Amino acid sequence: MRTNPTGRALQLLSLLQTHRFWPCAELADRLGVTERTVRRDLDRLREIGYPVDSTSGRYGGYRLATGTHVPPLILDDEEAVAVAIGLRYAAEAAVSGIEETSLRALAKIEALLPQRLRRRVSALHSSVASLRRAVDDDVIHPESLSVFAAACRDHEHVRFDYLRSDGESSGRHVEPHQLVTAGRRWYLVAWDGQRDDWRTFRLDRIREPRPVSSHFAPRAIPGGDAADFVARSIGRSARDHEATLVIHKPFAEVEGVLQWADHALREEHAEHCVVGIRSEDLGRLAMTVAEIALTAPVSVIEPAELAGAVEQLATHLTDRAHLA
C-alpha cells in the first residue's frame, strides 16, 4: 500500500506518544505498511530527535522514551478537544497561580485548532457556567502539592504546621501516602506518628511543609483506597455539627447558594423550606447561615448555640459598618 511518508510519520508518532510498547507487526498493521517500512520510519524519527526505545523478546516492541526536551506533540481530534476542555477547567482549580498558566496554554491550543474542533470547544465553553465561591478560602500553593507529591512517591517524612478547625495551629510530623481531590478541595492521607493513627489533612490549612530527609516503609491505607478513606473522614467531621434552618423562600430559589454547603432538604413548601446543614465547626455553620441570608431570610431552629453565634456575627458586622 502506498502512503504519504509525512502523514505516516505523524500517525506513527501519535501512536508512540501513548508510551506503551508497540510490536512492530502491530504498528505495520495500523499504518498499512510492511514491518521494514516501520523500522525505516522509526529511524527517521530518531534522526530528527525523537528518542524511540526498542526491546526484543516476546513482549518487546517500540516506545517513545522520555527525552531531554519537549518535542512537538501530535494529537488526534478527540485528544485535542480533551486537552482544551481540561485546560479550561484547570483554570478554575483551587491551586494558586494555575489559572493564568492554564489560560495561556489554552490560548495556544485553541489558536492551533482547526475551525471544526474550535467550534466544538467553543460550544461547550459557552454552554457551561461554573459556580464559584464568594471567597476562595481553600486555595493552596503549587509548592505544597509538589512537596507532598514527591514525598508520597519517595516515602519521605514531612513536617508542617496545621491550622485546626478551632483556629489553633499545631506542628505535625507525618508519613504522606496519597493526595486526594474532592471538588475544589485537596486532602492528604498520612500516617501521623505522634498520634499513632491515620489522619486526613486539608492542604489549604497546611503551612510550610518541609521534607526531613528520612524515609518510611509504606503502610496499607485503611480500606485499601485513599479516596474512600477521605470520604469517610469528611463524613465523620461533617456530622460533628448539624443545624436545622427555615429559609423563607422556595427551595428552588436558594438551591444555588446551598450548593457549597453540606445540606439536606427536609421539608418543602410554597413559600419556605426546612433545610438541615452540617459542618465541622460552629463558626462555619454561622458563615453558611450568613451566606444564605444574603439571598433569603433565615431562622435557626436548632441548635441554640448556632443562633447565638449568628447574632454575634451580625453584631460584629454591624459594628464594623458603623466604624467604616
Instruction: Give domain limits for the chain.
Output: 5-64, 77-127, 142-236, 241-323
User: Residue 309 above 60 pLDDT?
Assistant: yes
- Give the model's pLDDT for residue 238: 47
Determine the pLDDT at residue 69: 52
How confident is the model over 282-305, as pLDDT tens digits? Answer: 888 888 888 898 889 999 998 888
Roughly how many angstroms between the first and final C-alpha of the chain, as a whole number? 80
Q: Which of 4-13, 46-55, 210-219, 258-267 tops mean pLDDT?
A: 210-219
Q: Which tens digit of pLDDT belongs to each residue from 159-183? A: 999 988 777 888 999 999 999 887 6
- Of how many residues is the chain composed? 324
**Cell 439571598, located at residue:** 295
Domain 5-64 shares a fold with domain 241-323: no
How would residue 260 be classed by pLDDT, with cut points 50, 70 and 90?
A: confident
Higher pLDDT, 321 or 119: 119
CB 306 within 8 A of CB 292: no
Contact 95, 140 (CB under 8 A): yes
Q: Is the pLDDT of residue 186 over 90?
A: no
Q: Residue 92 in 3-state DSSP?
A: coil
Whether residue 324 is predicted with pLDDT greater than 60 in this model: the reply is no
Q: What is the pLDDT of residues 231-245, one digit of tens each?
A: 888 765 545 678 999
Highest-scoring range by mean pLDDT, 40-54, 133-147, 191-205, 227-241: 191-205
- In this structure, of 129-133, 244-248, 289-293, the range with the lowest mean pLDDT score is 129-133
Confidence at residue 311, expressed as pLDDT on a 0 to 100 scale: 82
Q: Which of 75-84, 120-129, 209-218 has the lowest mean pLDDT?
A: 120-129
* pLDDT greater than 60 at residue 2: no
What are the φ and ψ backbone dihedral angles of 241, each rounded to 5 degrees?
-135, 120
- Rounded percentage of the chain residues whose pLDDT exceeds 70: 79
| Domain at 241-323: CATH code | 3.30.70.920
Q: From the CA atom positions of the chain, what is the Rg in Å?
A: 27
pTM, rounded to two decimals: 0.48
Residue type, 31: L
Nearest-CA neighbor of 189 among 152, 155, 161?
152
3-state secondary structure 210-232: EEEEEECCCCCCHHHCHHHHHHH
Three-state secondary-structure class, residue 159 = strand
User: What fold characterizes domain 5-64?
Assistant: Arc Repressor Mutant, subunit A (1.10.10)
At 1 the pLDDT is 46
The residue assigned the cell 516515602 is 155
Q: Which of 25-39, 56-70, 71-85, 234-248 has the highest mean pLDDT?
A: 25-39
| pLDDT value at 317 more than 70 | no
What is each CA distance from 307 to 67, 283, 318, in whole angstroms?
61, 11, 17
Answer CATH for 142-236 from 3.40.120.10, 3.40.190.10, 2.30.30.520, 3.40.47.10: 2.30.30.520
Closest CA to 203 of 142, 254, 258, 140: 140
